[in-house]
Amino acid sequence: MPVPFFDIHYNLDEAARLSILARWARVLEHGGFVNGPEVRELEAALRAFLGVRHVLGCSNGSDALVLCLRALDVGPGDEVIVPAFTFFASAGAVARVGATPVFADVDPETYCLDARSAAAKVSARTRAVMPVHLYGRAAELPGIRAAVDAAAGRRVAMIEDAAQAIGTAHADFTVGGFGEAAAWSCFPTKNLGAPGDAGFVSSEQEAIAERMKRLREHGGGRQYYHEEVGYNFRMDSLQAAGLLQHLPRLVEFNAARRVGAQHYARLFREAGLDGEQGGPISLPELTPGHAVHQYVIRTRERDAVQAYLTERKIGCAVYYPLGLHLQPCFSSLGGTPGDLPHTERATAEVLALPIHPGITRAQREEVVGAIAACYAAMPTAARR
């Protein structure tokens, strides 16, 4: 049975489609296509959902990161500490504002920025640190802040890359409200996905939010008057209308992801594959508040398992196959293999399995059954 890695239709049943079309008809009526009333309504709904004082809709998560960086005056000559194991946009945004990404390693269990590695990267030019809530798990922000500030001997600004963390929670802090600013993505495959590109920023601080609002619209508070050079990073009203439809079901869908993760864990245990029982696969820890944006297993036989699943049309994906410190576009920064061992091991071993809320129990059984069959067919000598 083929299993799609992702299928947006889990969120587009007949009722949802009709409701989105009705919302879009209203946009066609009022004609405020860009940054219109739906964007304001969405910002208010997200403020309530996240529990963060300021939320501003924008074009996408990559631009949201640029808004955060610019609002904190990060620019040429500055360094920003970024985990090397993340989506490209985290570091790309730093380069886009003219600053230098300095790559740190991740914790091998959580895949999030490792506090000690981040602290070791601090220099006199460190302007900010950018933890990423990878795969929907909250990075340990208080520990990262304490370690980085102690190494710097001063307060270092923190930007949360929360692109994968819509619905993520942590007992000790508000995700998206702990750092000075946070960037979020509503790319269609995200836990809260728009019918196109969209994103938003959040901050507890009014001055930072005001600055991001201005930068979102060419750096001007008043039309045709510009205090600084900003961007056209506005959100389309059609995207906001789609997101307003989806937001009320986000909690339900994130709960379905957690149920899927628990089911996978049981299936792997029953198949004798779980690393905790001596099997070949490390399973992700389902911490409280984990939004399970991705369900990522880890195995030394990753490439063989990926090839086996792909051949049988069972969706899987590698997030991410190359550390950012080794990306060709950052070669001038001097990264070499061996610099960041946990990142490099993760890039060779991680494999994301289908986890979106439309995946059925039978499909998860198919996925784990195929992985078990892959191992059964694998000569023992091929296992590392």
Q: How far is the CB of 93 from ligand PLP (least distance, A)?
A: 8
**Residue of 69, 74, 118, 132 interacting with ligand PLP (CB under 6 A):** 132
Q: Are 274 and 265 in contact (CB under 8 A)?
A: yes
Q: Which one of 11, 60, 202, 237 is in contact with ligand PLP (CB under 6 A)?
A: 60
- Which residue in the set 61, 101, 280, 358 belongs to the binding site for ligand PLP (CB under 6 A)? 61
Contact range with ligand PLP by CB under 6 A, out of 8-16, 20-28, 56-64, 240-248? 56-64
Q: Going by C-beta distance under 8 Å and a sequence separation of 6 or more, which residues neighbour residue 270?
A: none
Quick one: which of 100, 117, 126, 164 contacts ligand PLP (CB under 6 A)?
164
Q: Which residue bears the tokens 């920064």?
A: 333
Interface mask toward ligand PLP for 186-205; x: CB under 6 A? -x-----------x------
Cβ atoms of 244 and 23 within 8 Å: the answer is yes
The correct pick among 38, 67, 71, 87 for binding ligand PLP (CB under 6 A) is 87
Residue among 61 and 242 whose Cβ is closer to ligand PLP? 61
CA 368 vs CA 35, 268, 271: distances in Å: 44, 7, 8
HSE-CB at 160 with a 13 A cutoff on CA atoms is 35
* Interacting residue with ligand PLP among 78, 79, 140, 161 (CB under 6 A): 161
What's the rounded Cα separation, in Å, for the pair 172 and 159? 17
Helical segments of the chain, H only: 14-30, 37-50, 61-71, 88-96, 115-120, 141-152, 206-216, 237-246, 250-270, 302-311, 341-349, 361-377
- The answer to whether 176 touches 184, Cβ cutoff 8 Å, is yes
Position among 102, 112, 147, 163 found at the interface with ligand PLP (CB under 6 A): 163
Q: Tell me which amino acid residue 250 is.
A: L
Nearest approach in angstroms of CB 319 to ligand PLP is: 8
User: Which CB sits closer to ligand PLP, 161 or 301?
Assistant: 161
296 interacts with ligand PLP by CB under 6 A: no
Question: Is 62 a binder of ligand PLP (CB under 6 A)?
Answer: yes
Of all residues in this chain, which one has the CB nearest to ligand PLP in the complex?
Answer: 61
* Beta pairing, strands 157-161 & 126-129: parallel
φ/ψ of 274, rounded to 5, equals -65, 130
- Which of 35, 90, 239, 347 contacts ligand PLP by CB under 6 A? 90
Q: C-alpha 62: how far from its chain's center?
A: 11
Q: Determine if 160 is a binding residue for ligand PLP (CB under 6 A).
A: no
Residue placing its CB nearer to ligand PLP in the complex, 86 or 110: 86
Q: Which residues bind ligand PLP (CB under 6 A)?
A: 60-62, 86-87, 89-90, 132, 161, 163-164, 185, 187, 199
